[in-house]
């Protein structure tokens, strides 16, 4: 499994980092995690071909995670893509994404490739190939809008993910509500990729004190938060500190299963 970070910034647009997105590459498949504003530029910046992306997962509908989707599909069309594209999204958001693409005049019969919007259920195991699966769970990120903005039309689904390739597992927090969401998955987790914008860094440090990971990758980083990261973890034991990586756009992590 190879993970390449395309964007490691927060919801605040920055000249230092693109919005949060990464590409997971496994045998014969490239899976894009999130596609916020500017993702097409981030992909070009990393010399990645639009055609190489086989599927996209959308974690939730804040603009820094999905609003680049119509533009990305437009790039695929303009680059004469022919191979099928799958978009995985929580089942409660499927109709909206279909409407959003329709209202962006991305008519399925004019794309030149097959576009499959696949609704996912929380806790459902999705198999991408023989050795790679992922599971999502609902987290509390959008709970702050409830109950004030609750309507029948609006979904507040926000997902965290566990990716598994053979015996290697990666927990991606997505955007979360608190460090409690970092406990959504139990069992052996090798790499933790966690956002740093919606949690207290002191609480993250306390969580890392109690839990062991081979690598902890910090992402979704505000320009202002960046300088606070290292000092927040300085009281951790040396080996824990050494396992923490502050992600930057272009960072590649490789694990040979």
* Closer by beta carbon to Zn ion, 36 or else 134: 36
Q: How far is the CB of 219 from Zn ion (least distance, A)?
A: 10
Query: d(Cα 95, Cα 92) in Å, to the nearest integer?
Result: 7
Residue in 34, 37, 165, 175 binding Zn ion, rule: CB under 5 A: 175
Query: d(Cα 191, Cα 251) in Å, to the nearest integer?
Result: 15
* Closer by beta carbon to Zn ion, 18 or else 50: 18
* Closer by beta carbon to Zn ion, 72 or else 76: 72
* Whether the Cβ atoms of residue 221 and residue 229 lie closer than 8 Å to each other: yes
Residue in 1, 3, 6, 11 binding Zn ion, rule: CB under 5 A: 11
Smallest CA-to-CA distance from 6 within 18, 70, 59 is with: 18
Quick check: 249 binds Zn ion (CB under 5 A)? Answer: no
* Whether the Cβ atoms of residue 2 and residue 248 lie closer than 8 Å to each other: no
What string marks each residue from 50 to 79 as x (binds Zn ion by CB under 5 A) or -? --------------x---------------
**DSSP states of 28-57 as a string?**
TEEEEE---TTHHHHHHHTT--GGG--EEE
The CA-based dihedral angle spanning residues 90, 159, 102, 154, taken in that order and rounded to the nearest 10 degrees: 80
Identify which range of 43-51, 100-108, 115-123, 170-178 contacts Zn ion by CB under 5 A.
Answer: 170-178
- Binding residues for Zn ion, rule: CB under 5 A, are 11, 64, 175
């Amino acid at each position: 499994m190879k993970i390449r970070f395309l964007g490691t910034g927060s919801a605040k647009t920055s000249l230092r980092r693109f919005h949060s997105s990464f590409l997971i590459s496994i045998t014969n498949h490239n899976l894009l995690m999130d596609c916020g504003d500017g993702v097409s530029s981030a992909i070009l910046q990393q010399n990645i071909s639009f055609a190489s992306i086989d599927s996209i997962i959308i974690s939730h509908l804040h603009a820094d995670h999905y609003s680049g989707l119509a533009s990305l599909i437009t790039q695929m069309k303009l680059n004469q893509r022919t191979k099928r594209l799958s978009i995985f999204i929580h089942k409660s958001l499927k109709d909206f994404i279909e409407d959003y693409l329709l209202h962006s005049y991305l008519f399925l019969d004019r794309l030149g490739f097959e576009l499959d919007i696949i609704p996912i259920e929380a806790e459902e195991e999705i198999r991408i190939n023989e050795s790679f699966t992922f599971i999502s769970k609902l987290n509390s990120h959008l709970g702050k809008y409830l109950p004030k903005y609750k309507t029948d039309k609006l979904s507040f689904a926000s997902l965290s993910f566990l990716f598994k390739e053979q015996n290697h597992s990666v927990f991606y927090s997505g955007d979360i509500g608190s460090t409690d969401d970092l406990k959504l998955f139990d069992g052996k987790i090798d790499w933790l990729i966690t956002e740093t914008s919606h949690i207290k860094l002191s609480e993250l440090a306390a969580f890392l004190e109690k839990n062991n990971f081979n690598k902890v990758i910090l992402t979704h980083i505000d320009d202002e938060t960046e300088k606070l990261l290292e000092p927040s973890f300085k009281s951790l034991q040396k080996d824990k500190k050494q396992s923490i990586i502050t992600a930057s756009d272009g960072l590649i992590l490789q694990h040979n299963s």
